[in-house]
A = this chain, B = another copy of it.
Amino acid sequence: MNKSISVAVIGASGYTGLELLKILINHPVFTITYVATSEGGVMLDTLHPALKDVLTCHVEKADISQIAACCDLVFLALPHQASMGFVKALLPLGIKVVDLSADYRLERETYEQYYCPHEDAKHLDYAVYGLPELYRDTIKTASLVANPGCYPTAVILGLVPFLPFIDEQFPLFIDAKSGVSGAGKTCSPTTHFIGINENIFAYKVLSHRHEPEIKEKLRLQSGITFDVNFVPHLIPATRGELIDAYMLLKQEIDPIDVLKAYYKDEPFVRIFDAPVNIKSCAGTNFCDVYAQRKGNKLYVNSSVDNILRGSSSQAVANANLMMGLDEALALPTIAYVP
């Protein structure tokens, strides 16, 4: 097996672009042949000094024909709406795409309600939602994979084993906590050290765009339109995401048994017998899950690294599958602890 597949990272300046590069550097089959940002014209270790002497390359201004000339697969680590333009141009050229933005994650109507008009309805129909535990087989044959949002990844992996047992007459309440990398590299009062250090607060209460994504995917799995209520928080940590979900059951179950049975063959979901934390999976592709029942109430508690399992390492898992490789290739499993 040699490094025979050429890949591009478009959007290399942000955190998810950096994480993609960090994984791909050691990938046994993928070779990074093109790295771009919207502006280009800079050396990579100027953007990311930590990569000095590790990966030396020029960052280009993203150009379709250059990409087409040198890549088999492209990772788009771009803002929503920006991605569409690239997908529209790349797919007809036979290049496979893993899109880390929201552009191909949702049904058109939902997308347009929460984001903006969709300019590539044609490919939207072909996009596969890149959550391997649910869509592995379809991903293998896809040419366009929509990489899930960070919160939906952790929420859906936590909830999906319980879908047959949840009482849909009652709302689901999902209280989520994310490290600051989830807010991106943009400097703002929210991401200013003084704003979030020694602090915690909810934001976009019951109006975050990941709420409809969660709702849609749970419906597609179960046929049931659950009443999903989602409240995310920012916490004073760099990476990691914790989910606490509250709901009612329509029958008695042992939640740990349900989890262990559902995920018994899955290498990247770990079931814990005690509440999970973000540090034990930060730096990895794992989703850690715990659950507890009290009478007819169910508490589900899951955790991911928001920019790995919640973005870049999951994107590489999808790319592995799309290229006929072992899903686990190069995926990080060793946490950053301590």
Contact = CB atoms under 8 A, between A and B. Distances in A.
A122 interface: no
B177 A187 contact: no
Interface in A145-203: 170-171, 173, 175, 177, 179-181, 185, 187-189, 191-203
A197 B180 CA distance: 10
Nearest to A201: B277
B49 A280 contact: yes
A192 B187 contact: yes
Copies of this protein in the assembly total: 4
A248 B171 contact: yes
Interface stretch (A87-95, A218-226, A320-328, A329-337): A329-337
Contact of A200 (B49, B237, B334): B237
Interface in A264-310: 267, 270, 272, 275-283, 286, 292, 294, 297, 299, 301, 307
A157 to B, nearest CB: 15
A319 to B, nearest CB: 18
Given A192-B193, A197-B193, A201-B275, A294 B229 contact: yes
Contacts of A173: 173, 246, 297
A22 interface: yes
Contacts of A333: 53-54
A253 interface: no
A235 interface: yes
Contacts of A194: 15, 180-181, 185, 191, 238, 338
Q: Majority SS of interface residues in chain A? A: loop
Contacts of A53: 267, 270, 286, 333
Given A52-B270, A337-B50, A301 B202 contact: yes
B52 A197 contact: no
Contacts of A185: 189, 192, 194
B297 A338 contact: no
Contacts of A246: 171, 173, 175, 229, 231, 246
A99 interface: no
Nearest to A301: B202
A256 interface: no
A292 B206 contact: yes
B26 A203 contact: no
Contacts of A203: 275
A236 B337 CA distance: 15
A236 B238 contact: no
Nearest to A170: B170
5 contacts: A15-B194, A26-B334, A199-B279, A229-B246, A235-B235
Interface of A: 15, 18, 22, 25-26, 48-54, 170-171, 173, 175, 177, 179-181, 185, 187-189, 191-203, 205-206, 227, 229, 231, 233, 235-240, 242, 244, 246, 248, 267, 270, 272, 275-283, 286, 292, 294, 297, 299, 301, 307, 333-338
The 3 A-B residue pairs whose C-beta atoms are closest, nearest first, are: A187-B187, A201-B277, A50-B335
